[in-house]
Amino acid sequence: MGRFRLKDLFLLPGLLSLARIPLAVVFPFVVSRPWAAFTVLVAASASDVLDGWYARRYKQATPTGAVIDPVTDKLFVLSVVVTLLLHHELPLLGVVLLSTREIGELPLVFWFLVSHNVRSIRATKATANAPGKAVTTLQFLTIAAALFHTPYVEALLYGTAGAGVVAALAYWIREVAAVRADTRTKSVEA
């Protein structure tokens, strides 16, 4: 456990995660059509919810999936925020606020990429993160509000940023605690 395996990408959770890559490519081409862009957002959100649920429910959580899921999340979010910035749907500060969780998680993604042990722990102890799901929901609502030019965008941006800080901290606390627990278990077994 803890090693990347190409075949894990072809399990349903891996395919659902990978589906966000073509959605990230399509988003810039549909952003000027709010309903089409909203449909892409819904599809990406559905893939994000379903990949983790399915992996946990059917015991298909893998080290490969533990890395691919957050990487494809970040790629999709990057595509969306850059597109919204370039199309003047969000100001630069709005992009930073919308991306607070992702900014806080970037070192964790790197840690997953370089550490076999961390990937192994994450794959065997995969759990949903309530603050993370809340941020994803707020990001979705904020982007939809920006696409449809509603008056709630600014309030949603600040709410998303606050929730993003909480979620990033929750991810860090969870991962560090899991590594510490694994280290203690291994030292007791030795």
Task: Read off the pLDDT of residues 49-102 as tens digits, 9 standing for 90 and up.
Answer: 898 889 888 988 887 887 788 889 889 988 998 999 999 999 999 999 999 998
Work out the average pLDDT over 110-129: 66
Does any domain span residue 95?
yes
The answer to the question of residue 1 being in a domain is no
Angle between the N-to-C axes of helices 63-86 and 20-30, in degrees from 0 to 180, rounded to the nearest 10: 10
- Domain hosting 120: range is 6-189
- Find the mean pLDDT for residues 31-56: 93
Rounded to whole angstroms, how far apart are CA atoms 136 and 140? Answer: 6
DSSP 8: G
pLDDT band at 35 (very low <50, low <70, confident <90, very high): very high
Q: Please indicate whether residue 143 or residue 9 has the higher confidence score (pLDDT).
A: 143
Is the Cβ–Cβ distance between 188 and 123 less than 8 Å? no
Is 99 part of a structural domain of the chain? yes
Number of domains into which the chain is organized: 1
- DSSP letter string over 103-132? HHHHHHHHHHHH-HHHHHHHHHT----HHH
User: At 152, which CATH number?
Assistant: 1.20.120
Q: Is the distance from CB of 17 to CB of 51 less than 8 angstroms? A: yes
Structure tokens at 23: 């959605």
**pTM value surpassing 0.95:** no
Whether 20 shows a pLDDT value over 80: the answer reads yes
What span, in angstroms and rounded, lies between the C-alpha atoms of 47 and 133?
13
172 in a domain, yes or no?
A: yes
Other CB atoms within 10 Å distance of the CB of residue 57: 11
Distance (Å, whole) CA 156 – CA 75:
22
- Average pLDDT in the 135-139 region? 90
Contact status, residue 60 vs residue 12, Cβ threshold 8 Å: yes
Quick check: 1 pLDDT over 50? no
- Residue 28 in any domain: the answer is yes
* CA pair distance 137, 123, nearest whole angstrom: 24
At 173, which amino acid appears? I
The residue among 105, 159, 103 whose CA lies nearest residue 134 is: 159
**Separation between Cα atoms, residue 73 and residue 23, nearest integer Å:** 11
Least Cα distance to 53 among 69, 77, 39, 64 occurs for: 69
- Reported as a single tens digit per residue, the pLDDT across 151-189 is 999 999 999 999 999 999 998 888 887 778 777 777 777
Residue 121, pLDDT > 60, answer yes
Q: Who has greater pLDDT, 131 or 129?
A: 131
